[in-house]
Amino acid sequence: MTMTRARFGLVALVLLVLAVPLQAADARSRADAAVADILFDYDGAEEFASYAVRADGFVDITFARNMPDTLYSELLAKLQNHAHIPGVLAGKSGRACRLW
Mean pLDDT of 47-74: 94
Q: What is the pLDDT of residue 43?
A: 82
Could you give the C-alpha distances from 20 to 11, 16, 57, in angstroms and in order? 15, 7, 14
Q: What is the pTM of this model?
A: 0.72
Q: Which domains does the chain have, with CATH numbers?
A: 2-94 (3.30.70)
More confidently predicted of 37 and 11: 37
Q: How far is residue 84 from each of residues 30, 31, 54, 73, measured CA to CA in Å?
A: 6, 5, 13, 19
Reported as a pLDDT band with limits 50, 70 and 90, residue 11 is low
pLDDT at 71 over 80: yes
Confidence band, pLDDT 50/70/90 cuts, at residue 37? very high
Q: What is the largest CA-CA distance in the chain?
A: 72
Q: Where are the alpha helices (DSSP H) in 1-100?
A: 2-40, 45-48, 69-80
Query: Is residue 24 over pLDDT 60?
Result: no
The C-alpha atoms of residue 5 and residue 84 are separated, in whole angstroms, by: 37
Confidence of residue 16 (pLDDT cuts 50, 70, 90): low
